[in-house]
Amino acid sequence: MTALNAAQAWREGVRRVARAPLIVIGVWLLTALVSLPLALSIRADLMSHLGSSLAAESAAQGVNLEWMQEFADQATGLGTTFRPTIIGFAAVLDNLSGFMDTVSRPVVVVSAAAAYVVLWLFLAGGIIDRYARDRATRAHGFFSASGGYFFRFVRLAVVMGVVYALLFGLLHPWMFDRVYTRLIRNVNVERTAFMIRASLYLVFGLLLAAANVIFDYAKVRAVVEDRRSALGAVVAAIHFVRRHAGAAIGLYALNVAAFALVLAIYAVLAPRAGGSGWMMWVGFAIGQLYVLLRLCVKLTFWASETSLFQSRLAHAGYVATPAPAWPDSPTAEALRPAP
Amino acid sequence: MRSVHFAVAALVSLAASASGAEVTGTIDPPLSPRNASYVIDAKLDPSSHTISGSEVIIWRNITTKPATELQFHLYWNAWRDDRSTWLRETKLGSRRAIPAVRADERGHIDVTALGVRGSARADLTTVMRFVAPDDGNADDRTVLAARLPQPVAPGNSITIELSWTAQVPRTFARTGVIDDYFFIAQWFPKLGVLQDAGWNCHQFHNGTEFFSDYGSYDVRLTVPTGWILGATGVERERHDNDDRTTTYRYHQDDVHDFVWTTSPTYVERRARFEHATLPAVDMRLLIQPEHVRQADRHFEATRAALKYYGEWFGAYPYGHITIVDPAYQSGAGGMEYPTLFTAGTRLFAPEHVQDPEDVAVHEAGHQFWYGMVGNNEFEDAWMDEGLNTFAEARVLGTWGTPYYFSQRYFGGFIPYVFTDIVRTREDDWNRFAGYRRAPNSDRQSTPSFRYYPSTGGVITYNKTALWLNTMERWLGWPTVQRIMSTHFSRWKFKHPKPQDFIDVANEVSGRNLNGYFDQVYRSSDSFDYGIQDLRSDKDGAKYRTLAVVRRYGEAIFPIDVRVTFADGTNAVEHWDGVERWRLYTYEKAQPAISAEADPGHVLLLDVNRTNNSRTLKPLDASGPRAATKWSLKWMVWLQDLLVTWSVLV
């Protein structure tokens, strides 16, 4: 197999994601299932607060900001997140901005996010294995790969956790609380302060991307080369990224561009408050389509990085570990004719 | 004393103020008592951030008692050290509110000489002392007192001379310096207000503003040549000095304060307010270069304030106004001074979003409530801030331009406009949400400087706007407009007290509103009326309907109760709202479908409006529909959050 360039690897990644639609549907279901209990909880709180008030009618028809604020003011925990910022594209800005500014969230939301991350960690092995083999592995193959790689990915997660903790726990406060504050201390032109902050976002984003790309290739190498050492996988990933920097960075940039394109499309199409009839469901469907596209982008990162790696250091479809086979039952074994 | 000759000349000029339609800062005949007139000569050293100045005050005792001492505000000493009352109160409100400043950035003011001229000539420098009339804080140096060698009899005048030096602070309380941007307010030794009960000269407090007598100000300011200068009043003279400085002379009659600002980067724009029945006003805008495209928005907002306030309350008499767009991080935005105010906007400020229009209307409006009606802001801040918030909300509601809810992201730089959430006068411009969070925090009749620091603003601004708007919905705008215009014309260029406003309200409305003011002004109780129960049961051929309305809050206000039936008819009851609850029963051929307490939404102070109504079938299906709709939206937000955080896997 000839070595793919960044664009070819990205297209190959898109193709592999498209060839495994069940993975997309599965992670979308996972996202929905993690969110649903909390959404039901919020719904119960909203119902309880609205009661049979006439305020419900205006809240159903459009936005009743006064009610919304009254609810949020009286709420604790999850309910405090119920603000206008959940509407349409503002939700995306709120989450991206919250991520980049490390805005604190209620414990329930953080717990849900932590559980979601752990579930992704579990599925990562199966997903990358599927994309690496580029052929159907069936549910048993997928989950046995997920289980098989899970503990090495947990070890990798410890390394990732340390790096991300350093980035978000030490570097971010240093950059945005100390350096930024110091840099703009005597700035009396907002444009200058904005440029400084944007530059810091860029620097932090690049560092985050660097960590991200290394950990992505660490996962890819752990699966494709059956590496058991988390540190070894990380070191190998660093070597790979250094030796194929142009392709690896170009590919990451293409994936980021795809992410930006999805955001741009949603910025145009994102439903506003709307009513409560069928338009409510149309709005929800558009929201789910957006979530699905975001998940596709995330999966394309992995799929395209896998194909890039395979084209450079292995070959398409190569995975060191044999395809996992689900053992048949003893009865089936007994019935199987001897070879 | 830097320039005695200048002072003498200026005093002569003050005494012989000429009339004329040209905007010169001179007003004849006088609009105010002009019992505290200042001639000031000050020089800014921008490198050391210091001001050295001298002033001559002609002060007349307009009380009925002799004055035996003088008291001056030295506001900038509030930031001299952490022991001042201002900083102690700031810490009480929120430790985070204290700006991080170095010792040399704190700011202070030192009076180096104080004396009395004329027949009672005396040097008072040696008898100066600091007093703390509000809290006895011996470390507070914001009020300077000096005993007079001879009492000043009622109606008599004295001439006071002072010299001082001041360190310009890094911005505290909307005054100070950042880089080459100076906004200089509350900056000179300023007399308190002598009343029959003695000097009203409060220490500088974190939550309140200022109080002083009217007079004429003639001020010479020396700043680096080439820097743009804006100030209270009208520029009368300008000349360049040998040391690369320029001296400006500004003059204004019938004001009670003087402020100025200078920076090399201001961009100057001019426009004019014209009206069929109101005097024209020259508008001068000093705007930041990065905001030049927003110049018209500043002018339009100022025009709106001058038009509506002028039509509703009374004319703006000065003929000129200066709008200052303060520099980023200067902390000088959103503040009023006589004939000059600071607005405030952002680099990214979409149209139809709050700023700069909201703040510009508010601060321009202060020319009326604060500038002309000069209540004591230390004690009765609601009389200007509250009345002005009400009027500002009314302007924004009347103007006809829709304003949308917005939110800022990414460090507060990037705005997002929610075009399906139109801001309303009743809730947004009256600042209802803020009030609902702390409705009981203080009785409004408590002296404002004694309000709890972090919630004082809610009682001062929000509550007043809400109770005035409630009055408007209750008594009608013509009545409230007459109350406010009468109060304005009766008390302009004077110092009204709360009872003066209440007296005018009773007189003009022709009603005894004392009970209402007992609830909203003298009490910290909150209002909360609601429908406790609604039933409509078949009873033979008819439906028997029971509606229970309840007073959940402690405060009392008469409300209507409306019960609507399935055939579209309704019954409206009037309840005095005094008892804890009231039962209404009906026997009708149709069942009830809803009951509402205060259906006209007259009582804007009701802190829990969702409980104001109850519905029966078929309307009660709206609750589940609304809850489903909003929980689905919330779910997409959460999913997006989860996917965003999954980048870490």
Where helices occur in B201-253 by DSSP H, the ranges are none
CA nearest to A175, candidates A139, A204, A195: A204
pLDDT band at A331 (very low <50, low <70, confident <90, very high): low
Phi, psi for residue B250 in degrees, rounded to 5? -115, 150
Same domain, yes or no, for B49 and B152?
yes
* Biggest CA-to-CA distance, chain A: 85
Instruction: State whether A66 and B622 contact (CB < 8 Å).
Output: no
Listed by number, the residues of chain B in 359-418 with a beta carbon closer than 8 Å to a beta carbon of chain A are 405, 407, 409-411, 413-414, 416, 418
Same domain, yes or no, for B83 and B231?
yes
Tell me, what CATH number does B600's domain have? 2.60.40.10
Partners of B439 on chain A (C-beta within 8 Å) are none
Q: Which residues of chain B have pLDDT under 50?
A: 1-20
Tell me, what CATH number does B498's domain have? 1.10.390.10
B49: left (phi over 0), alpha (psi -120 to 50) or beta: left
Instruction: State whether A32 and B640 contact (CB < 8 Å).
Output: no
Partners of A87 on chain B (C-beta within 8 Å) are 418, 420, 633
Same domain, yes or no, for B85 and B107?
yes
Same domain, yes or no, for B487 and B594?
no
Q: CB–CB of B71/B152 below 8 Å?
A: no
Query: What's the gap in Å between the CA of A142 and the closest CA on chain B?
Result: 18
Q: Which pair of tokens denotes residue B54?
A: 């001298």
Asked whether this complex has an ipTM greater than 0.90, the answer is yes
Range with the poorest average pLDDT among A58-62, A328-332, B411-415, B638-642: A328-332
- Which residue type, as a one-letter code, is found at position B412? G
- Confirm whether B287 is domain-assigned: no
Same domain, yes or no, for B487 and B560?
no
Tell me, what CATH number does B162's domain have? 2.60.40.1730
pLDDT band at A338 (very low <50, low <70, confident <90, very high): low
Same domain, yes or no, for B601 and B563?
yes
- Confirm whether B455 is domain-assigned: yes
Question: What mean pLDDT do residues A147-162 have?
Answer: 95
pLDDT at residue B15, as a whole number: 40
Of B256, B285, B318, the last residue of a domain is B256
Cis peptide preceding B356, ω within 30 of 0: yes
- Confirm whether B109 is domain-assigned: yes
Instruction: State whether A290 and B636 contact (CB < 8 Å).
Output: yes
Of B256, B286, B321, the last residue of a domain is B256
- Confirm whether B376 is domain-assigned: no
pTM: 0.92
Q: CB–CB of B69/B143 below 8 Å?
A: no
Per-residue pLDDT for A234 more than 80?
yes
Q: CB–CB of B507/B485 below 8 Å?
A: no
- pLDDT, averaged across chain A: 93
Listed by number, the residues of chain B in 271-290 with a beta carbon closer than 8 Å to a beta carbon of chain A are 288-290
Partners of B324 on chain A (C-beta within 8 Å) are none
Work out the burial of residue B202: count CB atoms within 10 Å of its CB; fewer than 13 is exposed, 13-18 middle, 19 or more buried.
buried
Cis peptide preceding A37, ω within 30 of 0: no
Q: Which pair of tokens denotes residue B198?
A: 């003695």
pLDDT in tens, B15-57: 433 334 578 999 999 999 999 999 999 999 999 999 999 999 9
Of B256, B288, B316, the last residue of a domain is B256
pLDDT at residue B1, as a whole number: 41
- Confirm whether B380 is domain-assigned: no
Same domain, yes or no, for B29 and B133?
yes
Same domain, yes or no, for B225 and B90?
yes
Same domain, yes or no, for B31 and B146?
yes
pLDDT in tens, A162-221: 999 999 999 999 999 999 999 999 999 999 999 999 999 999 999 999 999 999 999 999
Listed by number, the residues of chain A in 42-71 with a beta carbon closer than 8 Å to a beta carbon of chain B are 42-44, 46-47, 49-57, 59-60, 62-63, 65-67, 69-71
Instruction: State whether B642 and A34 contact (CB < 8 Å).
Output: yes
Same domain, yes or no, for B511 and B588?
no
Its domain, for residue B627, covers: 621-649
- Confirm whether B351 is domain-assigned: no
Measuring CA to CA, how many Å separate A272 from each of A269, A281, A283, B273?
A: 9, 12, 8, 39
- Confirm whether B152 is domain-assigned: yes
Per the structure, how many domains does chain B have?
Answer: 4
- Which residue type, as a one-letter code, is found at position A286? I
- Confirm whether B383 is domain-assigned: no
Q: How far apart are the first and last CA of chain A?
A: 36
Same domain, yes or no, for B570 and B640?
no
Instruction: Please list the helix, strand and coil fractions of chain B in percent, rounded to the nearest 5, in that order.
Output: 30, 35, 40
Instruction: State the count of interchain CB pairs (< 8 A) between A and B.
Output: 262
Same domain, yes or no, for B15 and B121?
yes
pLDDT in tens, A236-245: 999 999 999 9
